[in-house]
Amino acid sequence: MKKFRLKLLHLHRCRGATRSLIKRMISVDPDLAGLYDYTLSDFREYFSLSDKRAVVLFQDLHSPRILAALLDDLRTFQALTIFDQTFPPLLRNIKDCPIVLYVCGNADLLSHTPSISVVGTRNPTNTAYAKMNTIMTPLIKDGWLIVSGMAMGIDGIAHRLAMDSGGETIAVLGGGFRHIYPKQHNYMFQELAETQLVVSEYPPGFPPQRYYFPERNRIISGLTFGTLVVEAKERSGSLITVEQALDQGKEVFAIPGSPLQPEAAGCNKMIQDGAKLVQNTYDILEEWK
């Protein structure tokens, strides 16, 4: 099992090794026993890879530098694979489940219930904090875990509310732990890593990429019973998390706002489309009960 696990972690950080390819490779070779024996022709023939993709995957599998980086990361951070008993149960059954998670902090929080994810705009209104404090603080004091993405705006407020209220929170990042984004949240990352939990699907040395953030949203929604959208413009990236939550069969909640505020347009539209309107804490609690 140790050999398989190390091979899986190595494969996971190789260029060209998408989640779908890794799953196909495991279906062909469940123990990954022949991982380092595949030739370029094998990659092209057995897994239908293009020449370019086969070459970079082969190079990375045989790169001492990449293996050394993996071993160095494992001395500092914990890695969970989908085959580990400690892998979060709520994530196992979502579509396109992550194969590897890197965690920094209290990994026990991954099995905490009840939990809710909180998302919204990076540029909240002056009333956002008051709305969140009114609705979320009673949940936090009642033992609810808050999951968000450590972005500026609503995400940062959600994590801060949880910590300031003596609660627990998980941040899901869109990049590796050695490349914190946004940089303004470096201190928050350190605080979360010491007292809460930070999670990333991406190896610690991987810098953020634009497409990582929509990908990580399925983990934010997947770790919780439902998703609360606080403020969002009509074309907000937060709505990607909502789509993921709906696809996963999770509850979706939205706080309404004035039609004069662009930051309320996304939430108001979601409520029109069937999201649960949230005016107070009970509106969330009644769905949980």
Using CB atoms within 10 Å of the CB of residue 116, give its burial: 0 to 12 exposed, 13 to 18 middle, 19+ buried: buried
Contacts of 138 (CB under 8 A, 6+ apart): 281
Q: What is the mean pLDDT of residues 226-245?
A: 89
Q: Using 50, 70 and 90 to split pLDDT, how confident is the model at 235?
A: confident
**Are 251 and 245 contacting, i.e. CB atoms less than 8 angstroms apart?**
yes
Q: What is the pLDDT of residue 136?
A: 98
Q: Is the pLDDT of residue 114 over 90?
A: yes
Tell me how far apart the alpha carbons of residues 39 and 59 are, in angstroms, rounded to a whole number.
11
Q: Using 50, 70 and 90 to split pLDDT, how confident is the model at 237?
A: confident
Return the beta strands (E) in 22-99 as ranges: 78-81
3-state secondary structure of 80: strand
Q: What is the pLDDT of residue 67?
A: 94
Q: Which residue has the tokens 């969970």?
A: 80
Q: Is the pLDDT of residue 188 over 80?
A: yes
Q: What is the pLDDT of residue 34?
A: 94
Q: Is the pLDDT of residue 1 over 90?
A: no
Q: Within 13 Å of residue 271, how many CA atoms lie on the same side as its CB?
A: 19
Q: What is the mean pLDDT of residues 139-150?
A: 98
Q: Is the pLDDT of residue 49 over 90?
A: yes
Degrees (nearest 5) of the Cα angle 192, 196, 202?
A: 70
**Are 120 and 233 contacting, i.e. CB atoms less than 8 angstroms apart?**
no
Contacts of 235 (CB under 8 A, 6+ apart): 266
Q: Using 50, 70 and 90 to split pLDDT, how confident is the model at 134?
A: very high
Of 193-197, 222-226, 233-237, the one with minimum mean pLDDT is: 233-237
Whole-number Cα distances in Å, 93 to 31, 43, 82, 90, 98: 22, 29, 11, 7, 10
**Are 128 and 152 contacting, i.e. CB atoms less than 8 angstroms apart?**
no
Please state the length of the chain: 289
Q: Is the pLDDT of residue 173 over 90?
A: yes
Longest dimension (CA), the chain: 62
Q: Is the pLDDT of residue 236 over 80?
A: no
Q: Of 150, 146, 122, 156, which is closest to residue 263 (Cα–Cα)? A: 122
Q: What is the pLDDT of residue 289?
A: 73
The number of beta carbons lying within 10 Å of the beta carbon of residue 90 is: 19
